[in-house]
Structure 1
């Protein structure tokens, strides 16, 4: 179905134009100032015609045909780098450590202010969660694919 200039644009349409504008900025066709101005106008746009005016003075860019850096150009990763933990797994471990630390501090404050010994309940928070993360890391979910 052909899109008329009066047809309302969707968020996906705006995201596609934003990607095109980013590409033109990266290639040096527009400056950062122009990019920011066009981006502001982009998110105020309501129709396909308004979106088309934002890129009318720029050549067409096929984002699907844009290849990543060819494998021959990429340097070979060092063995230690290949074994590095994936950023998502590092974030999961950092979240686990932060939550565990907060729970232990709360437990320590409660223990210090009470008259009797307090059961170390933070073990129940960090234990199962940590075990799942450990298994995911060891089995390979945390390693980068080479």
Structure 2
């Protein structure tokens, strides 16, 4: 933490409250001690006051280093776009819908005994074209970002 005499923000108090919550859940604090420390954290004005509340608690291990937005976009993977879009979920939704509408179409054809117009094309076609364009566009954008970073 910064110098103990500096004033703490609401975000700093919330971070200490989160540490206290984890410590209660882990069994490091009993309920009375947790309530006392949580109340003191809400009323704390300086970093020093906040540091006293967690001095005897282990520091949580940092799971992943922070990265710049460009770095995150480049390393987001084949299915995640630069803005956090989850293409895997979008394609899964499309595939699920495809199975349902084609299934309905096949059952209705079997029930009537004659070949029916393939109406699922109008549900799946435009949606699939948009998803494909989005997928290709995001991959092209990631490739451009990679080239910029390595240049």
Structure 1 segment 4-15 matched on structure 2, within 5 A: none
TM-score, normalization by structure 2: 0.49
- Equivalent of 1:31 in 19, 25, 33: 25
Partner of 1:12: none
Q: Are the structure 2 counterparts of residues 70 and 122 from structure 1 closer, same or farther at C-alpha, using a change threshold of 3 Å?
A: closer
Q: Deviations over 1:7-42 (max 9, x none)?
A: xxxxxxxxxx9876444344xx3225799x8xxxxx
Q: Deviations over 1:103-123 (max 9, x none)?
A: 011111001111321111111
TM-score, normalization by structure 1: 0.50
Partner of 2:54: none
Q: CA RMSD in A?
A: 4.3
Partner of 1:85: 79
Asked if structure 1 preserves the Cα contact closer than 8 Å seen for 2:109 and 2:115, the reply is yes
Structure 2 portions without partners, runs of 5+: 1-12, 42-48, 52-63, 147-151
Partner of 1:104: 102
Q: Are the structure 2 counterparts of residues 54 and 24 from structure 1 closer, same or farther at C-alpha, using a change threshold of 3 Å?
A: closer
Q: Distance in 1 between matches of 2:21 and 2:108?
A: 55
Partner of 2:121: 123
Asked if structure 2 preserves the Cα contact closer than 8 Å seen for 1:107 and 1:120, the reply is yes
Q: Normalized per residue, which structure has more helix?
A: 2
SS at match of 1:98: helix
Q: Are the structure 2 counterparts of residues 107 and 60 from structure 1 closer, same or farther at C-alpha, using a change threshold of 3 Å?
A: farther
Matched, 1:69 2:58: no
Aligned residues: 104
Q: Distance in 2 between matches of 1:92 and 1:141?
A: 15
Structure 1 portions without partners, runs of 5+: 1-16, 38-51, 62-67
Q: Distance in 2 between matches of 1:91 and 1:97?
A: 10
